[in-house]
Amino acid sequence: MPESPHAPHSLLHRMTGPLAIEGQWISPWVTFDFGATEIVPSWNLSAPPEATVVVSLEARLDDGTTTGWLPTAHWNDLPADITTPSATTRSSESSDTSAQTTSQIVSLQVDTLTAAAPRRLNAARLKIETDAQPAGEAAVQVVLHLAALSGFAPGKCQHHEQVQNHEQGANEQGANASRKPRTAPLAVPVRSQMLHADTHRAVGGGGESWCSPTSMVMLQEFWRGRPLDAETKEHPVPWTALRTYDAAYSRAGNWSFNVAHVGRREADGQGLEALVTRLHSLAEAQTLTDGGIPLAASVSFTSDELPEAGYETDGHLLVIAGFTASGDVVVNDPAAPDDAGVRRTYPRGVFDLAWRRSNRTVYLVHPTDVPLPPAPADEPTW
């Protein structure tokens, strides 16, 4: 992708299996030649819901020093404990538990490793360890299908551009910003998070806090017709929220946990591949939706910036289902008060501003037998 003066750098590196993990698995070093400021990990496993893995990150900085292994998460696919949330064993870890020698140069918060300015991250690697088994019990088999590291570094003035022309998408990077879609918006099922405002309040509640699992439910239902294993009388949104809840974060919005849940596969390895990545532009998002791949995007905006939404947010997930002929963004916004109001259209330029505040973070979900469109050659983001 030709780089404009304000274009960000973004790169996703995949490590694919299947690979049985016995004890631990360590990825090769993944390099970020541009010097990343942030890194987010993803993993997809075949494992019983109760199988707990410990995920850690190690990074190398621009002066050649390394952070050592930073514990990132204890992850499994068990439902959260709704009576004693603190007893939930799925939990992220923050860098305040890490060695003091690293605390001033990197921070690890929930799902993102960040370098302290002006430092940059030139490389990183991922470690996945299986929890020790009680004496006399057979080890639980854990198979790794996907591990990925998504790195990002903002371009010059990345967060300081002003919206000048909504219809022309003036804020977007790249020469293809105004190209028209080849297909109609995708028929992604609609789900409102607000219908669950009084559900399981002890573990994050429904309503405003469940945008991430609700977006994931919409993507799962688009591909599978139902979420994984949701063959109970419980609605799929709370079902998914209970399995993405982060006890340390006290919410169901951990990016890594959401893709790990959706990407947890059966023993045959079939199912959905799910990962966190950062795109360069809405043109890349349009390449995916034109290819039949909806995606969930992280946005934030004020009520004045996006009055069409009817609310404001410091951080929200919604599904990009496609684009109008004029280039505006067709979304499934789970913040709607009911399912009927979920499908909406937001102005392209303002949407890009709102999305850019998360460094254009997305959940990318697709079946293992459905190929993705060709990725950008120079800095692939999928």
The mean per-residue pLDDT over the stretch 318-325 comes to 98
Helical H runs in 225-360?
A: 236-242, 255-262, 282-290, 348-356
Whether residues 90 and 231 share a domain: the answer is: no
220 and 141 co-located in one domain: no
Same domain, residue pair 45 and 119 = yes
Name the band, by pLDDT with cuts 50, 70 and 90, for residue 229: low
Domain assignment of residue 104, given as a range: 9-153
Do the domain assignments include residue 328? yes
What pLDDT, on the 0 to 100 scale, is given for residue 380? 97
Burial class (CB in 10 A: 0-12, 13-18, 19+), 300: middle
- Model confidence, pTM: 0.90
Q: How many domains does one find in the chain? A: 2
Residue 173 lies in a domain: no
Closest CA to 126 of 181, 62, 65, 67: 67
Q: What is the pLDDT of residues 149-182, one digit of tens each?
A: 999 998 754 444 333 344 344 444 443 445 565 6
Domain assignment present for residue 378? The answer is no
Would residue 172 count as lying in a domain?
A: no
| 164 within a domain of the structure (yes/no) | no
CA-closest candidate to residue 284, choices 357, 372, 365, 220: 372
Q: Does residue 227 share a domain with residue 136? A: no
Determine, yes or no, domain membership for 343: yes
Asked whether residue 141 falls in the same domain as residue 282, the answer is: no
Do 134 and 262 lie in one domain? The reply is no
Per-residue pLDDT tens digits for 258-298? 999 999 987 666 789 999 999 999 999 999 999 999 999 99
Which of these, 38, 27, 110, lies nearest to 69 by C-alpha position? 27
% of the chain with per-residue pLDDT over 70: 84
pLDDT of residue 177: 47
Domain boundary among 128, 153, 178: 153
Residue 159 belongs to a domain: no
Q: Give the C-alpha separation, 379 to 8, whole Å.
A: 10
The answer to whether residue 1 is domain-embedded is no
CATH number, position 40: 2.60.120
What is Dmax (Cα atoms) for the chain?
67
